[in-house]
Structure 1
Amino acid sequence: MRNLLTILLCSTLISCASTQKDQNTDPTVYQLDQVDAPTKWIIHISPIYPKKAAEEKLEGWIKMSAVITENGKVTEIQVLDSQPKGVFEKEAKRAFGKWVYKPALLNGKTVKVYREETLEFKI
């Protein structure tokens, strides 16, 4: 019985601690014009030109959006537009997901921001 009470108490404490941690994280995603210092990429991974597109000498671009976290990581990547459609999206998202940014600052604290990037594919 005593072991059962100890287990219940420990799981309650762990649950409370994880809930409190989640409550301290600011869920707000700011626009770049709302912050004091915007993000700036510090690691930029170039996409690999898709083999089929290179063979066909296709060029194009892709516009994406993402959330840049307080740690400078790229998350929640969405394709907004591309030309030609269905050719460069997969590789552009893979490369963009590996970029690292200097985080945005608001009132001296790092914050999440919404950012758009356009990648061009030229031979």
Structure 2
Amino acid sequence: MPIVGLTPVAREALIEGIEGYVVFEVTIGADGSVKDVLVVQSEPKRMFDRNVIRAVLKWKFKPRIINGVAVERKAIQMLEFTLNDLN
């Protein structure tokens, strides 16, 4: 999980009461910043994708250290969007 990050919000989905999820691959640079985000799966299709990508690109992670050296890595993450999150 990120050490710094914004939670994406899809205003249209919120207004219409739509729930869903996005599974994405994130490339984390040696400095902990997000270098790339690739949506692997989402439901409903494309409803949350753009907001997830925009938010995740601003996330910051603790760098992975191997033999004392920070290295780039990839990870799979999932974000769920439910109306219960608002309560």
* TM-score in terms of structure 2 length: 0.89
- The 2-side partners of 1:112 and 1:83 are apart by 29
Identical pairs, percent = 31
The answer for the alignment partner of 2:36 in structure 1 is 76
The answer for the alignment partner of 2:6 in structure 1 is 45
- The 2-side partners of 1:80 and 1:43 are apart by 23
- Partner SS for 2:6: coil
RMSD: 1.0
* Structure 1, gaps ≥5 residues long: 1-39
1:121 and 2:69 aligned: no
Higher relative contact order (CA closer than 8 Å, sequence separation 6+) = 2
* TM-score in terms of structure 1 length: 0.64
Post-superposition shift, 1:41? 2.0
* Structure 2, gaps ≥5 residues long: none
Runs of 4+ in 1 over 6 A off after TM superposition: none
Post-superposition shift, 1:60? 0.4
- The 2-side partners of 1:69 and 1:94 are apart by 17
Post-superposition shift, 1:77? 0.8
The answer for the alignment partner of 2:58 in structure 1 is 98
- The 2-side partners of 1:65 and 1:54 are apart by 24
- The 2-side partners of 1:42 and 1:52 are apart by 28
